[in-house]
Amino acid sequence: MPANELFRFDLARHRAAAGLRPEHISDFQRLIKALRYGSRFQLLFAEFTEADYRDMLIRQLDLVFAELGQPVARIDLSRQGFAGFAALEAELRRLAADHGAIHLTGVDGWFDEGRWRDFNIRREAIAFGVPVRLAIWLSAGSVAQAIVLAPDLWAWRGGVYAFTTVPAGPHEIPQPQTGPIDPRTLAERSCRIAVLRDAVAADPPPDDEILGLLLDELAGLLASIGELDEALQIRQEEQLPVYERLGDVRARAVTLGYIADVFQA
């Protein structure tokens, strides 16, 4: 994959996750990578509790792939009147001709015991005839049904992703922070850069909260002395993954702002 395309994907997926609840960022990034890089046929089970939140997640995923020119299809079983599993399979085959990934929603209430068993029986034919990454959005109850009624299908799962929620208040919009102008000389900054490099490379490494701060200072100092390429690489490849692991939405958003500033310079 060309480096610029990889960067566009990484930037888009981090931006897409900026508005998510912190506890879901890790699974969102896992899911989006599976949809992008997974094998041609994959069963990806995404558990959720709120339909509105599920729809927001799907919109964010679809925006990323639309930017890459790879639209994702959606089948809503609660609105499309499929008479049985055979009709659903036919629609999956039709969409697979033009899409690399498909969302399957409305699973709760449509999949009964017979349809889960049909899915289980037809799994090999679907894997051969529907070479797509199939994201199946379902509740905890439907997950339990799938495990019991379609055990062979469940064994083929490529991933399970948790987006369950409880009522929560509004999220604070992250605000980028700007610091004062660095008064240090070039020599002083260079000395500090050397100290930071040693700290980041320490064995054992610092914990993620400290590591994120060290990387932020290091990238900022490198940018201040004109080393924009290295500063950008640190922010993309080292600092952003730290904030993903921490689930720190605000810090990720600020870092993305710094990255965007470099490309607009």
Q: Which ranges of the chain have pLDDT less than 50?
A: 168, 171-178
What pLDDT, on a 0 to 100 scale, did the predictor assign at position 13? 82
What pLDDT, on a 0 to 100 scale, did the predictor assign at position 36? 87
Q: 60 and 144 share a domain?
A: yes
Phi and psi of 31, rounded to 5°? -65, -45
Instruction: Give the C-alpha separation, 223 to 213, whole Å.
Output: 15
> Residue 14 is encoded by which pair of tokens?
């981090």
Report yes or no: 134 and 210 within 8 Å, Cβ to Cβ.
no
What pLDDT, on a 0 to 100 scale, did the predictor assign at position 93? 94
Q: 130 and 214 share a domain?
A: no
What pLDDT, on a 0 to 100 scale, did the predictor assign at position 177? 38
Residue 197's domain comprises: 186-264
In DSSP notation, 199-228 reads: HHT-SSPPPHHHHHHHHHHHHHHHHHTT-H
Q: 122 and 200 share a domain?
A: no
Q: 208 and 110 share a domain?
A: no
What pLDDT, on a 0 to 100 scale, did the predictor assign at position 261? 75
Give per-residue pLDDT as tens, 72-121: 999 999 888 899 999 999 999 999 999 999 999 999 989 999 999 999 99
What pLDDT, on a 0 to 100 scale, did the predictor assign at position 178? 46
Q: What is the pTM of this model?
A: 0.62
Q: 139 and 223 share a domain?
A: no
Q: 151 and 227 share a domain?
A: no
In this structure, is residue 129 part of a structural domain?
A: yes
Final residue belonging to a domain, choices 163, 178, 195: 163
Burial of 44 per CB tally in 10 Å (0-12, 13-18, 19+): buried
